[in-house]
Structure 1
């Protein structure tokens, strides 16, 4: 089953090549063997087997619920799951067991998906490395490929701090798919938190148009930008999962009102009438020569196939990081205010006064990155600063959204951009700067999409000289998700991106488990 896509495993299940219970057992075994990657924080084995048994019985009766019946999936630990601990990788919510499922989780389960577990993340989804978690950092399986290790040995850099980060904040969900312990996973995407780790882990990461997927049950970071993200091994699988999840939800007033019609992507795709835009502002400082080369080759590929490739301008891109920082932190400050030790979450033992309880609870419950964003957000929301920062940022957000509208209104079908500045960092490289600085750097190509509410997808393209994944990103028009995925599928068909060597990964389990234990004390 190593390397199977969701479509392939569905076919195998329906044809009886493998049973849901056998598939579940194999995935549970692989989760244990790759535990050093730290992708999962909770694995409800008994529940997963019960779901697999139910799927097997449905298949035997010929009552399959659809393409996800019996298929192992994983969910980021900031989606509410009934009866399963949901922590957001924070002390503030440790021990919290929701009484309900998030809408997207419930829709997966209604289609017969088997929940393998909850995945690791940066605390409350604030970060770009998946290293700021109370459960420890997530490690990238590509950092254990034979080719990568050989290069480290050649450069004499094979040391504890040179394991590779997964990207964030949905690093656990990306690693769960990349290490093949599940066939699809859910992340959340506020400024690129699905696309960034997907790019670093060599899988497909999709952020839908805002309003296409319900946010009910997703513990909020930034309500006006949060979108559930989908991670799979190929673009076709994204459309399969999207068809299950998308549509109106009466529990989320921001979802679309019109019925959503699931779609299948065509196998034969013609791009000769396509117009691909290349934003000149995305030639950003810090863009590595390898990422630039990959981006250029992708553009040449479309041009050689008959598509029209033109340079476009998104003039307010330079302000997007600052705009995002102001709006993100202000909404974070608002959303995190509920965790005060009196109503929700962790409660400190210090009870000398209400103020002391409040201060101690938040100090004990939140890490430095979360407290920093709360502090900044409250500063921007002060009466004397409100117009200067928050109102001005909202105006800039409208200008950024208008930039995209003008470009798409000029006849551009999709935009082609890098996803990240480079391939994945090692842990040692990543922690040279603080969380906020890294997030600003790593989100430069992704977060303006969230400001504008547009769909975007990242597709693995090639391996770098260090034998780590490089990807490109496609950005589409609002609610033109099908067109976007169709273009992404055509591009994927032209690539020969290698599948990760799971056997090689498993051959080093014992050695790497020891390495992980030593890294965990860093």
Structure 2
């Protein structure tokens, strides 16, 4: 039951085969069973039970709210939920309880979803592994000590999965980041869909590592109101789900204009509403040559080529294209990210909210001591770098140049669309997975370059992108590919992703 899609579990709820209260109790039990994975910062058990009881009562009265009514969900802990802790994975906000709820979370709850908990993340979303949280690292289900089986989506029997190698029982595979807790909550069966945020790949990377579908919508389609900001100009709420259809269903529920977010697209949306039968016929799919880069694993290349061949066999035109400024995206991002971080983090002074130092020698000393004690090294490093880039004597050399490069990256995408491409097909990450022991030996910039190389340009350009698991590697870890579309092109993007999902039939994870 806990490995079902939203459509399947909604049907069982509607038929009375299971109640929302029973479903919530099962998800809470699964969260407890897998607590060593550290997917959650906060379990909102009382709230979930209350919401489940309300859902059951609506069904008894014959007034269910829709397919999400009674379905357990989880939310990354940088989305505000009124009265619940919103920590951003940081000591700075460990005691913070916001007085309002983020717009996308509010829409989930109004659709009848039951909130199981707030999920772990790299501190303030600054990471690609979910290893830099004040509350400890999150572990991937794949390669963990949790027992599981694999089942292929369309009726094949469960099989014994390969066991990914580890040097020791203490080591583990990272889930990707920064929305790793959200990904693990869905992969482990604790929730059916999760909210994440994506600034450079923070939804798509953990989706790829955990064998899930990860959707980063067009910039401005989902409201950012109530999402604690990292980089205003690139942050996008995103979804982690088991199937493309699940992601599309929840995307339609959340996608609406929001006067509380000035960057939110004001026009009414056309629902994605995926047809039962999707086709690749007539699609023009570009394969960017620059994504065939140093460090990409041969198994990722094989999967990429196989998916391109599958699309061609299905009637799509697949051709090579060029995005020549892709190689500069991470360097550009390192400047723009740090500059916006420096601005956004200035609010955490311990006066209005957040960790407050007991240092009273001066206001400046209180700020400095509080930030030193409550922010980790990665966050402090970005704040210092951002302030350096924003100095008047450095602004032209760094900020102006980075904004020019960003415009060139955006233009690369625009030229691809003008040349007739409907979609772009690329890898998500360069390899299949990373052991924690290996990951922590590298610095944050090196890890970001390795995991965000293929995902970050979509944030620069504001285009929608979806991560889709396509096969298992020889180590028994997921390999995923990415589809990107022009801005506001979610319908075609998700239809193509669903078609490819069905053709490739990636095995679904079932925990036992």
Q: Are 2:168 and 1:159 equivalent residues in the alignment?
A: yes
Q: Which of 349, 352, 364 lines up with 1:343 in the alignment?
A: 352
Q: Partners in 1 of 2:352 and 2:84 — Cα distance? A: 21
Distance in 1, matches of 2:407 and 2:505, equals: 39
RMSD of the TM alignment (CA)?
Answer: 1.2
1:359 maps to 2:368: yes
CA distance in 2, matches of 1:161, 1:438: 21
- 1:273 and 2:321 are equivalent in the alignment: no
- Counterpart of 1:59 in structure 2 is 59
Residue 482 of structure 2 corresponds to residue 473 of structure 1? yes
User: Following TM superposition, by how much is the alpha carbon of 1:149 offset from its aligned partner in structure 2, in angstroms?
Assistant: 7.2
1:208-223 to 2 correspondence within 5 Å?
208-223=217-232
Q: Within 1, Cα distance between the matches of 2:43 and 2:404?
A: 44
Gapped runs of 5+ residues in structure 1? Answer: 504-522
Shift of 1:424: 1.4
- Do the aligned partners of 2:248 and 2:273 also contact (CA within 8 Å) in 1? yes
Q: How far apart are 1:297 and its partner, in Å? A: 0.7
Of the three residues 463, 468, 472, the one matched with 1:463 is: 472
Q: Is the 8 A contact 2:297 2:431 kept in 1?
A: yes
CA distance in structure 2 between the aligned counterparts of 1:222 and 1:151, rounded to whole angstroms: 35
Q: Which residue of 2 aligns with 1:396?
A: 405
Query: 1:306 — aligned with what?
Result: 315
* Structure 2 residue aligned with 1:178: 187
| 2:78 aligned partner | 78
Q: Does 1:245 align with 2:244?
A: no
Contact 2:121 2:177 in 1 (8 A): yes
Compute the displacement of 1:150 (Å): 4.4
Secondary structure at the counterpart of residue 142 of structure 1 = coil
Aligned positions, number: 499
Of the three residues 326, 332, 341, the one matched with 2:341 is 332
Secondary structure (helix, strand or coil) at the match of 1:385 reads: helix
Deviations 1:241-298 (A, max 9, x none): 0111111100001111111232310122221211110000001111011111111111
2-structure distance, mates of 1:395, 1:388? 11
The residue that corresponds to 1:319 in the other structure is: 328
Offset of residue 342 of structure 1: 2.5
Rounded Cα–Cα distance in structure 2 between residues aligned with 1:11 and 1:322 = 48
Segments ≥4 residues shifted beyond 2 Å: 144-152, 341-344
Question: 2:157 — aligned with what?
Answer: none
Distance 2:316 2:272 in 1: 24
CA distance in 2, matches of 1:20, 1:2: 13
Task: Output one character per residue of 1:279-335: Cα deviation in whole Å (capped at 9) or x when no partner.
Answer: 000011110111111111111111122211000000111111111111000000000
Note the C-alpha offset of 1:161: 4.4
**Corresponding residue number in structure 2 for 1:40:** 40
How far apart, CA to CA, are the structure 2 residues paired with 1:337 and 1:427?
Answer: 31
Q: Give, in whole Å, the separation in 2 of the partners of 1:23 and 1:161.
A: 32
CA distance in 2, matches of 1:220, 1:403: 27
Deviation of 1:130 after TM superposition, in Å, equals 0.2
Offset from partner CA, 1:28-87 (integer Å, 9 cap, x none): 011000001100110111111000000000011111111110000000000000010000
Aligned partner of 2:113 in structure 1 is 113
Aligned to 1:449: 458
Partner of residue 265, structure 2: 256
How many angstroms apart in 2 are the aligned matches of 1:305 and 1:224?
37
The aligned counterpart of 1:511 is none
**Residue aligning to 1:411:** 420
Q: 1:206–1:456: 8 Å Cα contact kept in structure 2?
A: yes
Q: Which moved more, 1:306-315 or 1:139-148?
A: 139-148
Counterpart residue number, 1:438: 447
Aligned pairs for 1:190-229 (under 5 A) are: 190-229=199-238
Residues 62-118 of structure 1 deviation map (CA, whole Å, 9 limit, x = unaligned) = 111111100000000000000100000101001100110000000001111000000
TM-score, length basis structure 2 = 0.96
Alignment match, 1:506: none
| 2-structure distance, mates of 1:161, 1:127 | 22
Distance 1:151 1:322, change over 3 A: closer
Matches within 5 A, 1:363-402: 363-402=372-411
SS of residue paired to 2:378: helix
Displacement, 1:343? 3.1
Q: Which runs of 5+ in 2 are unaligned?
A: 150-159
